[in-house]
Amino acid sequence: MNPLPPPAASRRPLRVIVGLSGASGAAIGLRVLERIAASGRVETHLVISRAAERTLATEVGPDALARALALANVHHDHCDIGASIASGSFPVAGMIVAPCSMHTLCAIAYGQLGNLLVRAADVQLKERRRLVLIARESPLHLGHLRAMAQVTEYGAIVAPPVPAFYLRPPDIAAIIDQIALRAIGLLGLGLDEIAPLAWEGEPTPEDCISTGA
């Protein structure tokens, strides 16, 4: 007697959407793709804005876009609002927008769904899935802060690309890697092989140890 096939849900691939918008920090999005691809267990769906294509070339190099496209399992055109990831019926584990410009963040916050990147992010919110926004801007004005608060109230995770200085990164590449790993970790995918570096604590200085007095 042949065993029954596993339920359909268990046969679904683990899918993640990676979006790159036009803010500075394009290398972070590329590193997210590299790290997820290295796991060998996740199907990535990539959407890149036109501004992000330009930023990739400026900040990473003329071959950066081709590298990003090669790393993704599926590439969706930024203007294709009929793509699979535009529908909540298409199962994915979550989405990372890295970097996330204030233009994109504000569009998500206020429901201005004029392109696939913003539409896919909106789908994550309505389906109660993880949405991680690597918001890249400084300083911030009140409008930025209100939009960040609004998307947080909707369920998004706003994670500015802040370096973990306590890890004493030796170079910019290490900083980029740490931020990318942190973003992936926030999706809660259980990818232990690419888990972000964790703070293990340090010995308590003697002058801080309670004497019991």
> 70-86, pLDDT tens digit by residue?
999 999 999 999 999 99
Q: In degrees rounded to 5, what are phi and psi of residue 100?
A: -115, 110
Phi, psi of 184 (to 5 degrees): -65, -40
> What pLDDT is recorded for position 210?
57
Q: What per-residue confidence (pLDDT) applies to 198?
A: 66
Residue 137 lies inside a defined structural domain of this protein: yes
Q: Are 122 and 111 in contact (CB under 8 A)?
A: yes
What is the model's pLDDT at position 208?
Answer: 60
Q: Which residue intervals of the chain are DSSP H helices? A: 8-11, 26-39, 50-59, 64-71, 102-109, 116-126, 142-154, 172-186
pLDDT tens, position by position, for the chain (213 residues)? 455 554 444 567 899 999 999 999 999 999 999 999 999 999 999 999 999 999 999 999 999 999 999 999 999 999 999 999 999 999 999 999 999 999 999 999 999 999 999 999 999 999 999 999 999 999 999 999 999 999 999 999 999 999 999 889 999 999 999 999 999 999 998 887 776 566 677 776 666 655 554
44 found inside a domain: yes
- Total domain count for the chain? 1
- Partner residues linked to 158 by β-bridges: 133
For residue 71, being part of any structural domain is answered with yes
Angle at 18 between CA 139 and CA 48, to 5 degrees: 75
Strand partners for 48: 20
pLDDT value of position 194: 73
Residue 126 sits in a domain of what CATH number?
Answer: 3.40.50.1950
> Is 207 inside a domain boundary?
no
**Residue 12 has what pLDDT?**
72
Q: What share of the chain is helix, strand, coil (3-state, %, to 5)?
A: 45, 15, 40
Query: What is the token pair recorded at 39?
Result: 């796991």
- 150 domain-assigned: yes
* pLDDT of the residue at 181: 95
Would the CA dihedral through 137, 145, 35, 93 be positive or negative?
Answer: negative
Query: Which domain covers residue 171, as residue numbers?
Result: 14-190
For residue 33 the two structure tokens come to 């793709």
The reported pLDDT for the residue numbered 191 is: 81
199 in a structural domain = no
Q: What is the dihedral of CA 192, 132, 97, 33, to 10 degrees?
A: 0
Whole-model pTM: value is: 0.89
- Cα separation of 127 and 93, whole Å? 10
Q: Which of 68, 160, 144 is nearest to 108 (CA)?
A: 144
How far apart CA 192 and CA 38 sit, in angstroms, is: 12
Pairing status of strand 74-76 against strand 130-135: unpaired
Q: Domain for residue 153, yes or no?
A: yes
The reply to whether 4 falls in a domain is no
CB 117 within 8 A of CB 104: yes
